[in-house]
Structure 1
Amino acid sequence: MALNDQSTRIRDGEELDAAIIDSYLKAHIPGLSGEPQISQFPGGASNLTYLLEYPQQEFVLRRPPFGHKAKSAHDMGREYRILNQLNAGFPYCPKAYVHCTDESVIGSEFYVMERVNGIILRADLPAELNFSPEQTTQLCKSFIDKLVELHNVDYQACGLGDLGKPEGYVARQISGWSDRYEKALTPDAPLWTEVKAWLNEKMPADHPKSAIVHNDYRFDNVILDPRDPQRIIGVLDWELTTLGDPLMDLGNTLAYWIEAGDPAPVQLMRRQPSNAPGMLTRQQFADYYAERAGIEIKSIDFYYTYGLFRLAGIVQQIYYRFFHGQTQDKRFAQFVQMNKLLEQMSLQVIKKSSL
């Protein structure tokens, strides 16, 4: 089995015209020759990601999903800009080559970036890696170190000081995701009434040091060096990146972090090997983050619950497209059940919380 991330056939309804793509790229990227072979990366549930293989060079094309889109989501130009400017302070961003704003080319905006060839972890650690628990712990800490490094980037020096508005970030996230959730409601979705009330009641002040917030930092968005799989060489999926409270970003990552002791229904949602022997628990993750960042985190309950609610909002927006027939991707059929489970997980955190 090849450990490097593999593309597959393009899903029905998500095809690209190779001749049109080829003509456009050759007009904008010097030195291209031959014809591209186009395939699709199967991971991800938001923007669509394709592999363009030329005889001498490989690219990745990103475009928004088909169907309904949240008002401010899937901004290709913004993601293109982040990749090119953030690289100066965080050298794990792939180089972006071209951003197409002419929707007549493929039916939407898109951008093309370099392919960083490496290992992307999915639900389980590949047996071929043969990691010991100690090696897995080291990989986990390296993963957290990159998040701390990102949060310490001087975003003003990168020219990204206008990327977002850090002041009032926590309050805007709670109200914003509440609003987005309401807009994506379907008749079979939970209301999250108790959780939303708790988040509003327990809302802390913004962290005094604002940071670049990735907003989707998890193992299947990082690339490992095939020659040294404990070394991270790339970080992907910058579409949700902004400026804000780094602890809210930590909460987002903890929401994806399903640990070994979580119950069976929760394990069914796991999409990264966060349960592997040697991986830190959520509390250990937060403690190590706080130690490396040099900050105190008295409780992760608010940030973790926020992360779960925000994840439910993302899940529900995707399910909304499936519910209304705007996507044929059958992976999304059960997303409403995931939403319901996320609400139950949040209520358990609230029940046990000392806040």
Structure 2
Amino acid sequence: MTLNDQSTQVRPGEELDVALIDPYLKAQIPGLDGTPRISQFPGGASNLTYLLQYPEQELVLRRPPFGHKAKSAHDMGREFRILNQLNRGFPYCPKAYVHCTDASLIGSEFYVMERVKGIILRADLPAELNLNAERTEALCKSFIDRLVELHQVDYSACNLTDLGKPEGYVQRQIEGWSSRYEKALTPDAPRWEAVVAWLREKMPADHSRPGIIHNDYRFDNVILDAANPMQIIGVLDWEMTTLGDPLMDLGNTLAYWIEATDPAPVQLMRRQPSNAPGMLTRRQFVDYYAERAGITIDNIDFYYTYGLFRLAGIIQQIYYRFYHGQTQDKRFAPFIHMNRLLEHMSLQVIEKSSL
């Protein structure tokens, strides 16, 4: 089906040597025959993702980006382990087959997993899906259901108790992103001082039921069944997964959730069809999440504001590289305007907040 997520030609400078990859994989994964055709998935701004098409089987290879990387970032072994062990309690993780630490093959470590074929939603709902408002609402609720399900996974039963440290998680995130933002400041960037001060003042205690948090849960990281687009069959991009406060994860997702009534400048940042007729508003999103999770959420302004600040930190880190000429990718030039807009949105939330 043409709506399935498609790979394209490998970008120049990011090629894989099939003569090295093929024999290694055949020694590790039984049943591989023939020579794979290698292409690349165009999305994402972090790890690189390739499609390896053997005559009888398709595999996905993930590797870190080229160039300098923080020591703790892009840990392929950690992501490989998460996929293998979390799958026991959350069956939407693709199966991971092999983790290679021999950098001589492609210049870095990498791992290979199954390809889950399906539809990945980008900015707008494809017209071919014929989703009316009622079906779109059902899809939206299914999207939230999977997030609730993830947060309620028994991570001890998945042997993932060492994945993170729930105690003090909220404070570490606020201070960590404050530090990272300061290091990525450029002369034209907003300083976010009032927002950070408010976050520090309103910081909640540790969550009573910490859970596994995805840290990048968006529609373009879930896979829909091509035969039944209402059904989510996969969740991708587990590189930032850890243990912590599930409501921080909810705040991250809300930061990406641009609804139909948001002003035009905000709409320009939209990367998923969260504005489509039938999609829940942010308030409805929170209420439905709370209902499904069986909890009360009375401080969502804190978590949403944190999500906006964290998103600004991510954007500013990328813009910093562009500002200093470390990348020539002109897509990153307007990121400074997005940063300013996110600060404005945060200040508006704070102004109206009852916290």
How large is the Cα RMSD of the aligned pairs?
Answer: 1.5
Say if 2:318 is the partner of 1:280: no
- Aligned partner of 2:67 in structure 1 is 67
Tell me how far 1:325 sits from its aligned partner.
Answer: 4.2
Q: 1:58 to 1:196 in 2, by over 3 A?
A: same
Say if 2:333 is the partner of 1:333: yes
Partner AA of 2:168 in structure 1: G
> What is the rounded CA distance, in whole Å, between the counterparts of 2:321 and 2:333 in structure 1?
10
Q: 1:321 to 1:247 in 2, by over 3 A?
A: same
Q: 1:277 to 1:334 in 2, by over 3 A?
A: same
Moved more, 8-17 or 294-303: 8-17
- Aligned partner of 1:270 in structure 2 is 270
Tell me how far 1:321 sits from its aligned partner.
Answer: 3.3
- Aligned partner of 1:89 in structure 2 is 89
> What is the rounded CA distance, in whole Å, between the counterparts of 2:174 and 2:102 in structure 1?
34
Tell me how far 1:304 sits from its aligned partner.
Answer: 0.4
- Aligned partner of 1:39 in structure 2 is 39
- Say which SS state the counterpart of residue 148 (structure 1) adopts: helix
- Say which SS state the counterpart of residue 44 (structure 2) adopts: coil
Tell me how far 1:329 sits from its aligned partner.
Answer: 3.9
Moved more, 315-324 or 269-278: 315-324
- Say which SS state the counterpart of residue 228 (structure 1) adopts: coil
Partner AA of 1:315 in structure 2: I
- Say which SS state the counterpart of residue 259 (structure 1) adopts: coil
Moved more, 298-307 or 28-37: 28-37
Determine if contact 1:214/1:241 at 8 Å carries over to the other structure: yes
Tell me how far 1:19 sits from its aligned partner.
Answer: 2.1
Tell me how far 1:17 sits from its aligned partner.
Answer: 2.1
Cα deviation 1:93-116 (Å, max 9, x = unaligned)? 000011111222212221111100
Partner AA of 2:345 in structure 1: M
- Say which SS state the counterpart of residue 117 (structure 2) adopts: coil
Determine if contact 1:38/1:51 at 8 Å carries over to the other structure: yes
- Say which SS state the counterpart of residue 52 (structure 1) adopts: strand
> What is the rounded CA distance, in whole Å, between the counterparts of 1:329 and 1:15 in structure 2?
19
Q: 1:95 to 1:325 in 2, by over 3 A?
A: farther
- Aligned partner of 2:188 in structure 1 is 188
Cα deviation 1:40-89 (Å, max 9, x = unaligned)? 11111111111111111111111111233344221111100000000000
Partner AA of 1:233 in structure 2: I
Moved more, 30-39 or 113-122: 30-39
- State the identity as a percent: 82
Say if 2:51 is the partner of 1:51: yes
> What is the rounded CA distance, in whole Å, between the counterparts of 1:63 and 1:334 in structure 2?
27
Q: 1:191 to 1:70 in 2, by over 3 A?
A: farther
The count of corresponding residues between Structure 1 and Structure 2 is 355
> What is the rounded CA distance, in whole Å, between the counterparts of 2:337 and 2:209 in structure 1?
37
Tell me how far 1:327 sits from its aligned partner.
Answer: 4.1
Determine if contact 1:46/1:318 at 8 Å carries over to the other structure: no
- Say which SS state the counterpart of residue 69 (structure 2) adopts: coil
- Say which SS state the counterpart of residue 231 (structure 2) adopts: strand
TM-score, normalised on structure 2?
A: 0.96
Tell me how far 1:286 sits from its aligned partner.
Answer: 0.3
Say if 2:236 is the partner of 1:248: no
> What is the rounded CA distance, in whole Å, between the counterparts of 1:8 and 1:77 in structure 2?
26
